[in-house]
Chains A and B, each alone.
Chain A
């Protein structure tokens, strides 16, 4: 933890008033208008948005401080393999990145368009499919989102920033402490850097990630809890889809009671994994041979839930005994399980014959499943603990005045809806607009009055999204019979309703048109009625849960479809 003091003895109000001005200047090396702490995607996007805004460029001095080496990101060599940190950039986010001139600098050949999303319940097998081509008007985009390596995005932002030249980047320098000036009523933060400099700033932006030092300085509490879940990520390789299949542009997500496993397409032969699961299982999966993990991934999309539960326990047990399961042992288990479920070895649901010949007509149901993983890119397997958290406020006050939070510093979420970074980008857009507006009215942009529109714009939006994702996570992590039954009803009913599908689709922020929000909400509202009618005869307990399921999804839809333009 950083020593974050909010006032200091060293800078207490001057007793002697006949001081020479120099007494101040030796400790403060720099004055600026905005200091952004954090050069992650949110911080860099904010710097770019501010730097490309004419009235800000002309009147403000902006500095970004990042602890790591940004030149490495900027000179990232576009290696053959893929980075394991990949985010799904929605159309709304992409539109914003386009507006600030960053998207054209993204290496687009390394990004993967998502044209369809298939989501299914691991227990009941109820499934929803959303596809852009089926749903969106012909003239609009066929993509729902684009999978982009975080590094690719950060690199593009850095290139855009250097062409703008409006923001000063200070990297390989940590913010060591932040102290409120506290002399003669001033509330300006003094930012102490690890290189010895002290910057006095009008506004301090925390884009400094989940453990945000700026949030700590501001004294803003963060509300939340750890999901007893870790996400395993990695880059997966597989054979290309054959001539009779659709290309690798479908994202698949199966909700297992231990957490969702997602397969996100990057190219014809590579995809990204995000497997959220219980920490002991995540630890075991990370420890096994990558070929074992690959076999587990294939099974996890295919085997019935009871068998997955069994395999999970086998793996964890073997891990605890100190003799990790071998590939042969695992294949034997899977073969036995497939036989007992009467899964034919040529069926799409069999994961044993990995070196399939993909040139022929694929087996029935193959389009409902991701391609079989053949290998995992070495060094890409990693895991992250998942947390729900939301700061109690985005704007600091009193002893923490002149501070504002964006991105993961303000909120963290479960990756099941792929919204974490997208929410951060929406924050950044709103904050940049808010600052530009404040400048055009001559406001002090560190003031509460100037920042309030940002918070008003984003706080509730983010909260609804966080709550909807949280509800979905909880809903799908149970195997209790009535809930599962209701879940299947909820999902299948939704699948029948084009109206809701459309709403959900535009959800993932997939439309960039400005009126998408209103349009889709109208549709979704109609959908709610239909759901209510069609489950009218359901058992009352189940009905409540089904209502929750659809309400959860709809709420999610509403969030994402209603981007603040």
Chain B
């Protein structure tokens, strides 16, 4: 069970860092040398604390129940879009079930690791990042109990001595960092797929955030987002009903003014030109930035091979989320998914 022990050393790192920089951790990446030196100072209460938090986060009938129910739909959207584009790229016979196998995926704002785990089970090599240290601890602890995820904390080199029998191929890693820091450290064009689900409505500078996410996508790669539209319906459902009336989610979770409409995302990528990042050295960096991700709009909608939005609809009598039909803007008036592809050149 080296997984558990690596989760533990991650927690050790987490804990020591917090003790050392109690407030300043938010935007600093973990540094490995520090981890190694501090691994003996560990507080069992801290582990117990994170175990409790983890059980709360992973309680599918608890506070995060809606998120758990939403997860299969988000995964479905990712899978279906990747399959569709693979056919579009001229691949004819491939196993649709294995479309994520071997892809490098970044999950920005991974929370307790729901989406990261699913994508990893489907064969992706996933890096989940989150600005909340406790989310990273929760996600790490949870993944460490599942041998199919080949979990490795970033603080330990990933070794392949896992004597655990599982047939999965992907592996998951979590890191406490921000997308900006990751971009600064890894440089652009580093992931086949970048996902950021239910995050955009919480960030302060959505344009900057989108820029960083977009830069991390490899040419020809995919960016998936999900968020909430700024409509009266969305206010009614997500703030009035979910927070105030039924208390499905903690009041104050959402801020109406931060909601973003599908048309705004589309418009962003219609005008978006990736700024030439300082470290894309050699080849003509100006050229690579010339093409917008969405080349043209037809009646305000992008071409389905460049970008797409789909509604996510909660069906209360089934207690489940379903994916809205294609090209049905009315279904995108509340929770919706967005996909856009980075042009090849």
Tell which of B76, B141, B142, B144 touches A441, judged by Cβ atoms closer than 8 Å: B76
Asked if A59 is an interface residue, CB under 8 A from chain B, the answer is: yes
Question: Chain B contact residues: over half helix, strand or loop, or mixed?
Answer: helix
The CA-CA distance from A142 to B318 in the complex, in Å, is 37
The CA-CA distance from A448 to B62 in the complex, in Å, is 12
| B interface residues, how many (CB within 8 angstroms) | 52
CB atoms of B318 and A456 under 8 A apart: yes
Which parts of A179-202 form the interface with B (CB within 8 Å)?
181, 183-186, 188, 202
Asked if B2 is an interface residue, CB under 8 A from chain A, the answer is: yes
Stretch at the interface among B52-60, B190-198, B215-223, B295-303: B52-60
CB atoms of B145 and A397 under 8 A apart: no
Stretch at the interface among B40-48, B249-257, B285-293, B305-313: B40-48
The CA-CA distance from A17 to B72 in the complex, in Å, is 35
Supposing A440-B97, A449-B60 touch, asked if A13 and B48 sit within 8 A by C-beta, the answer is yes
What residue in chain A is nearest B40 (Cβ atoms)? A18
Which parts of A309-336 form the interface with B (CB within 8 Å)?
none
Which parts of B118-150 form the interface with A (CB within 8 Å)?
118-122, 141-142, 144-148
What residue in chain A is nearest B170 (Cβ atoms)? A442
Asked if B246 is an interface residue, CB under 8 A from chain A, the answer is: no
Asked if A32 is an interface residue, CB under 8 A from chain B, the answer is: yes
Stretch at the interface among A19-27, A64-72, A218-226, A362-370: A19-27
The CA-CA distance from A61 to B47 in the complex, in Å, is 30
Tell which of A17, A20, A28 touches B44, judged by Cβ atoms closer than 8 Å: A17
Asked if B189 is an interface residue, CB under 8 A from chain A, the answer is: no
Stretch at the interface among B17-25, B160-168, B203-211: B160-168
Interface centre among A21, A58, A60 (most CB of B within 10 A): A21
Asked if A452 is an interface residue, CB under 8 A from chain B, the answer is: yes
Asked if A443 is an interface residue, CB under 8 A from chain B, the answer is: yes
What residue in chain B is nearest A32 (Cβ atoms)? B165
CB atoms of B42 and A448 under 8 A apart: no
Supposing A17-B44, A61-B166 touch, asked if A443 and B118 sit within 8 A by C-beta, the answer is yes
Asked if B230 is an interface residue, CB under 8 A from chain A, the answer is: no
CB atoms of B72 and A441 under 8 A apart: yes
CB atoms of B318 and A61 under 8 A apart: no
CB atoms of A31 and B120 under 8 A apart: no
Asked if B75 is an interface residue, CB under 8 A from chain A, the answer is: yes
Distance to closest chain A CB from B81 (angstroms): 14
The CA-CA distance from A256 to B131 in the complex, in Å, is 72
The CA-CA distance from A442 to B122 in the complex, in Å, is 5
What size tier do the contact residues of chain A reach? Answer: 35 or more
Asked if B61 is an interface residue, CB under 8 A from chain A, the answer is: yes
Distance to closest chain A CB from B98 (angstroms): 9
What residue in chain B is nearest A398 (Cβ atoms)? B59
Provide the residues of chain A in CB contact with B118, threshold 8 Å. Answer: 441-443
Given contacts A17-B44, A442-B121, 20 further A-B contacts (CB under 8 A): A15-B44, A17-B8, A17-B12, A20-B5, A24-B1, A25-B1, A25-B163, A32-B165, A33-B166, A61-B166, A61-B167, A183-B4, A184-B54, A185-B54, A185-B141, A397-B61, A440-B97, A442-B100, A444-B121, A449-B60
Residue numbers of B with Cβ under 8 A of A are 1-2, 4-5, 7-8, 12, 39-40, 42, 44, 47-48, 50-52, 54-55, 58, 60-61, 68-69, 71-72, 75-76, 79, 97, 100, 117-122, 141-142, 144-148, 163-168, 318-320
Complex A-B: 30 CB contacts under 8 Å: A13-B47, A13-B48, A17-B8, A17-B42, A17-B44, A21-B2, A24-B1, A25-B1, A25-B163, A28-B1, A31-B147, A31-B165, A59-B167, A60-B167, A183-B4, A184-B47, A184-B144, A185-B141, A186-B145, A202-B148, A397-B61, A441-B72, A441-B79, A442-B100, A442-B118, A443-B71, A443-B75, A444-B121, A447-B68, A449-B68
Q: Top 7 A-B pairs ranked by shortest CB distance?
A: A442-B118, A186-B145, A24-B1, A442-B121, A442-B122, A185-B51, A185-B54
